[in-house]
Amino acid sequence: MGTRPQDLMPPAVEIAGLEPLRTIRSRWPAVIGALLSAAMIVGLAHALLGAGLAGLARSVPASPVFYVAFALFYLGPPWFDHVIFRRLWRIPPSGFAALLKKRVANDVVLGYSGEAYFYAWARARAPMVAAPFGAVKDVSILSGLAGNAITVAMVAVALPIAHGLLSAGEFRTVIGSAGVALAASLPFLVFSRRVFSLRRGELWWVFRTHCLRLLLGSVLIAWAWHAAMPGVAMGMWLLLAAGRLLVSRLPLVPNKDLIFANIAILLIGKDKALSELLAFVAAATLLTHIALIAGFAAHTLVQRRVV
């Protein structure tokens, strides 16, 4: 039997032939991160040119307490995520910036696009994280389960009040949505051994952390609202914050912002002042997104010039 040409090919040549494929595979997390960053910029520009800044032209809260509470409210989700992944992965401080981008992506691109961005960020740092997909998946699912659990609990607590504020059709929608939220959580609980990758103790710790994040976020936004309109009792703002979290988690509600605004006006009154405050909070969130993305872009440019 004669010698085949491929048998004469040195091993180094074979390895070199695989380099382009290996390069593509090693660069895909960076490509995904770049695409999602571009999508964030497009989403922010669309919101900026739309109605997102309408509230800025009107009343601006004068109390500095509002801005402190708002800043803590904004930073809450990425901070709690950093606490979670610090325990799971020993994530470095630089990971907080990636988690901020995750928050922006979830707000202005598509739901769970932030998780895709953060997975790409973690995947690009393979020496730090051996298998990031399982942890990112588990933390994301547990966030949804915690939100559903808090939603069902709030529905149970708010039923007497909601019955007097909502129409019969709206009341049935709220009850049905709470049922859907509960039903959507059951498969993850029944098949938990097949769904989750983390150990049981870690899963319960992450779940409790997400519940604490949701409750603390409701208190902080209520504190910010109270600082902007101190004439309304803090207890009423806490009730409104609970309603905000409740409406945001209901799956069968078509226009959540409109329903929340109507509930807020029914609870608080002061139609114009409250509408302006809610618009300002939305605009402040948008501007914070824009400032962060601009800061990250400037930091990247500076790093490239230094290198």
Summarize pLDDT for 181-221 with one digit per residue, the tens. 777 777 777 667 777 888 889 999 999 999 999 999 999 99
Give dist(CA 107, CA 103) in Å, integer. 6
Whether the CB-CB separation of 111 and 252 falls below 8 Å is answered with no
pLDDT score, position 68: 95
Q: What is the pTM of this model?
A: 0.75
Higher confidence at residue 174 or residue 82?
Answer: 82
Over residues 280-290, the pLDDT tens digits come to: 888 888 888 88
Confidence band of 29 (pLDDT split at 50, 70, 90): low
- Of all residues in the chain, what percent carry a pLDDT higher than 90? 17
Give dist(CA 33, CA 136) in Å, integer. 15
Structure tokens at 170: 């709206």
Whether the CB-CB separation of 264 and 274 falls below 8 Å is answered with yes
Asked if pLDDT for residue 16 goes beyond 50, the answer is no
> In this predicted structure, which of 112-121, 200-209, 253-262, 282-291 has the lowest mean pLDDT?
253-262
Identity of the highest mean pLDDT range in 68-77, 100-109, 246-255 = 68-77
pLDDT score, position 13: 41
> In this predicted structure, which of 54-58, 120-124, 220-224, 254-258 has the lowest mean pLDDT?
54-58
